[in-house]
């Protein structure tokens, strides 16, 4: 494949991914100078059980023309005290590592980047990592020790970061309180129609005066019931 073909493929794939992600409430996407190869993100934590709940974390992703065959880069643009976040905001996470198995790190190929992954996979992995850090191979040793030994202090630092991050919420942007879509409106007619069905409509052919044994025989046979079911389909 020519370099031009790879470039066009990367841009087409990224435009498609951005269009899909724009429907999600937990991420806000802008392009840096209109460049589809550089994304400026607001990554939003909507999880009441998370120490980072309510955070609006500015981040940036960059892509090469070899995307999706090579992974993007990801880094937070604000300081985050976390075992797997480096001082420059980059994140130590397997999904951002080049494809293939790495004997040195012990990472399996399935844990690392592959062309089947995408931006959403990366962002969801980062959100999971925020709440479930890997403390055995930390990027920030102090944060790892605090997370392990003094969780209350660690959570306080996380909350401080959340409060600072709220200053980056764009004007007019509405922060989500839940990721669940509202239930569809339910009309009273739906229930009324169900309960308005006549006895004849609910009668599957059994005799009103038949014994329990006759009814049991009828249920086991099921022939009459099958005919009614066909009529109803």
Q: What is the C-alpha to C-alpha distance for residues 28 and 5, in angstroms, rounded to an integer?
A: 29
92 in catalytic set: yes
Considering 21, 61, 92, 96, which one is annotated as catalytic?
A: 92
Q: Which two tokens stand for residue 9?
A: 């493929």
User: Residue 102 has what DSSP assignment?
Assistant: B
User: Residue 168 has what DSSP assignment?
Assistant: G
Q: Which residues of 7-43 are buried (b: 16+ CB within 10 A; e: fewer)?
A: eebbbebbeebeeebeeeebbbbeeeeeebbebbbbb
Angle at CA of residue 131, ends 121 and 28, nearest 5° = 50
Q: Which residues of 118-145 are buried (b: 16+ CB within 10 A; e: fewer)?
A: bbeebbebbbebbeebebeebbbeebbe
User: Residue 143 has what DSSP assignment?
Assistant: H
Give the count of alpha carbons within 13 A of 107, CB side only: 18
Query: Which residues have CB under 8 Å from 22's CB, separation 6+?
Result: 29
Residues forming the active site = 92
């Amino acid at each position: 494949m020519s370099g031009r073909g790879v470039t066009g493929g990367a841009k087409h794939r990224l435009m498609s991914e951005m269009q899909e992600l724009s429907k999600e409430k937990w991420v806000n996407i802008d392009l840096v100078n209109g460049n589809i190869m550089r994304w400026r993100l607001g990554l939003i934590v909507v999880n009441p059980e998370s120490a980072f709940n309510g955070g609006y974390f500015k981040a940036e992703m960059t892509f090469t023309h070899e995307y999706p065959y090579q992974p993007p880069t990801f880094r937070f643009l604000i300081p985050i005290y976390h075992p797997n976040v480096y001082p420059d905001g980059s994140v130590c996470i397997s999904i951002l590592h080049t494809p293939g198995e790495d004997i040195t790190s012990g990472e399996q190929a399935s844990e690392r980047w592959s062309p089947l992954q995408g931006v959403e996979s990366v962002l969801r992995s980062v959100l999971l990592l925020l709440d479930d850090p890997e403390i055995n191979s930390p990027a920030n040793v102090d944060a790892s020790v605090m997370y392990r030994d003094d969780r209350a202090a660690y959570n306080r630092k996380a909350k401080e970061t959340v409060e600072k991050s709220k200053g980056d919420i764009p004007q007019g942007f509405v922060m989500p309180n839940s990721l669940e879509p509202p239930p569809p409106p339910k009309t009273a007619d739906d229930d009324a129609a169900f309960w308005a069905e006549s006895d004849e409509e609910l009668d599957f052919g059994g005799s009103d005066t038949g014994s329990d044994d006759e009814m049991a025989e009828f249920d086991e046979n099921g022939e009459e019931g099958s005919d009614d079911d066909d009529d109803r389909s």
